[in-house]
Chains A and B, each alone.
Chain A
Amino acid sequence: MNSTPHRATIYLEDARILGHESHPGEQRILKLEAPKCAQAARPGSFAHLQCDPLLPMRRPLSIMRVDPEAGWVEFLYKIIGYGTRLLARRRPGENLSLLGPIGRPFAVHADRPRAVLIGGGVGIPPMIFLANHLRRLPGFKPLAILGSEVPFPFIPRPSRILVPGMPDGIIAAMPLLEDWLIPSRLASLQGFPGCHDGYVTDLVVRWLDTLSPRELAEVELFACGPHPMLEAVARLARKYDLPAQVSLEEFMACGVGGCAGCTVAIETADGQAMKRVCVDGPVFDAATVAAFKPA
């Protein structure tokens, strides 16, 4: 993977709230009018938002969908702290300041068209963005495996697309992806109907095990979600000798590479380095993330 930091222009936009939907499990879908960000965003990009004038800091949120023509960007977030709680109070018609798009996006490779998009919880958004990108690229055959421990922020429906290796009855899929003709399957420990009662990586393994060696060589993993999930993806990538790109999270201050507040330890050719999640990431090669190294 290319390791030069993100140097593209970042825009500061006074973004109007076009929509702010509530979903169970304290989840919200926020749609903002931000034409410059919508034009420039790529799968994996995030934006740094002023949640409320009362807060001294912004909050980074991954971009889920964009419409460059209509000029909007959409985010999915969960209320987990003071900042997101204040953000959740903001109403359509109000404005908030958006700084974005930020970050080095996912890199897709034509020789690995079998892209597996693994998203957990609020790690789902970048996978939706990536899926929307891949469906327009000829030859790509993406598969999405999504997990959540709160109800999914959409109403799952039985899939009409066959996915080899899935356990009996694991048929729930994300409607938007179905509409895009992208197969998806869902996992949760909460016993949601049609969803695998276990981890996303269980389903990925079942699917990988149906592939021939030639097919396996066409697979690339993409993941965003909680740390244990990403660690499991990194393990799986090692076991099957697959490339894996993971999108990481860390507390951020500036969001533009100025403070080195958001670093993670990354193995480089020159030894371990502290890389900034905001502009050196948020997407990293899983094999280089020091925290995912085998013990």
Chain B
Amino acid sequence: MNLSVVDKRLAVDFCGLELASPLVLLSGCVGFGEEYTRIEAFSNREVGAICLKGTTLAPRLGNPPHRVYETPCGMLNAIGLQNPGAHQVVNEILPQLDFSETRFIANVSGSTVEEYVEVARLFDDSPIDAIEINISCPNVKEGGVAFGNDPDMSARVVEACRAATNKPLITKLSPNQTDIAENARRCIEAGTDGFAVINTLMGMAIDVEQREPIIGNNQGGLSGPAIKPLAVLKTHQVYQVARPHGIPIIGQGGVASAQDALEFLIAGATAVGVGTALFYDPLIVGKINAGLAAYLDRHGLDHISHLTGSLMLHGATSACG
């Protein structure tokens, strides 16, 4: 494998996978791994891994327009998991990917626990490097509440997928819940190998002239710099629970610079996701890698992994406002 484009000090181990860089391209932002390669000077080799678009068992057409909308310092999206179905992804798309360039992670989605399991099983029997479970999908059998908003439902999905695969299993936690740490605890018991923290926050934007939501699906997931402070805190909270078990985290939410990536690492992340920022600067990954290397130089550190969880809290952490 030729991983020489990235500074060696940035290589990290994530659930036993060697990643050339801690930077991971996030699910839903880069299609099935090859769309960005049409941009001159873009290279999949600069990233540690790429999470593919959320994949369900049957193909999905996705939501009606509008699917995306810019909001202050971020955007709403409600794509509706448009994807060609797990069989097509495994049989037609994965064979086209160049696994010598980077690691590819499947993003498994479903409406029922059974669907998650079937999709996970299909990816288990494929060259994919790891499986990320997107538990932010609505559970159609239980009133459409997102699995990830409830620790019981989250644990059930993780446990069932765990039984279906021996590949590294990453659970992508939702911020749309009261106690993310409790949810993380339950997912660890259920057998997750890693976490992705966080998925988008649900939001709405309204066209006041028409008095209707701008997003075709009415509500959408908020991403981008607007959610970064919240995502850093959630990463810190999940890290408290995950650290004793040696379970690594892909911190994410609004990363747009080396400074942002460093915040997530220091808060407890082993790897850092980049999604929405690619839309603004498709070549941002090279810049963040360079910024991370410069930080190591400046602080006399021989490896990026020393930063994970290196946060030094102040004494008082109770009151707010």
Contact = CB atoms under 8 A, between A and B. Distances in A.
Interface in A24-50: 36, 50
Given A253-B279, A258-B278, A262-B68, A36 B40 contact: yes
Nearest to A99: B282
A263 B67 CA distance: 8
A283 interface: no
A38 B57 CA distance: 43
Contacts of A8: 38
Nearest to B254: A56
Given A9-B38, A56-B225, A256-B36, A262 B279 contact: no
Given A57-B280, A253-B68, A254-B29, A274 B61 contact: yes
A95 B73 CA distance: 21
A260 B36 CA distance: 13
A55 interface: yes
A260 B65 CA distance: 10
Interface string B3-41: 000000000000000000000000011110001101111
Determine chain B's interface SS by DSSP, over half rule. Answer: loop
Nearest to B59: A273
B224 A56 contact: yes
Given A56-B70, A56-B280, A57-B280, A256 B82 contact: no
A256 B35 contact: yes
Q: Which of A252, A257, A258 has the most CB of B within 10 A?
A: A258
Contacts of B30: 254, 258
A124 B283 CA distance: 32
A166 interface: no
B71 to A, nearest CB: 8
A251 interface: yes
A259 interface: yes
Given A10-B39, A257-B31, A251 B68 contact: yes
B189 to A, nearest CB: 34
A258 B29 contact: yes
B281 A97 contact: yes
A58 interface: yes
Contacts of A58: 279-280
Contacts of B295: none
Nearest to A264: B65
Given A56-B225, A252-B68, A264-B65, A258 B36 contact: yes
Contacts of A272: 61
B39 A260 contact: no
B74 interface: yes
Interface of B: 28-31, 35-36, 38-41, 53, 61-62, 64-70, 73-75, 77, 79, 82, 224-225, 276, 278-283
Given A251-B65, A260-B53, 19 more contacts: A6-B38, A7-B38, A9-B38, A55-B280, A56-B279, A99-B282, A250-B65, A250-B66, A251-B67, A253-B68, A253-B77, A254-B30, A254-B278, A258-B36, A260-B62, A261-B67, A261-B79, A262-B67, A264-B65
6 contacts: A11-B39, A251-B67, A253-B276, A254-B279, A255-B279, A273-B61
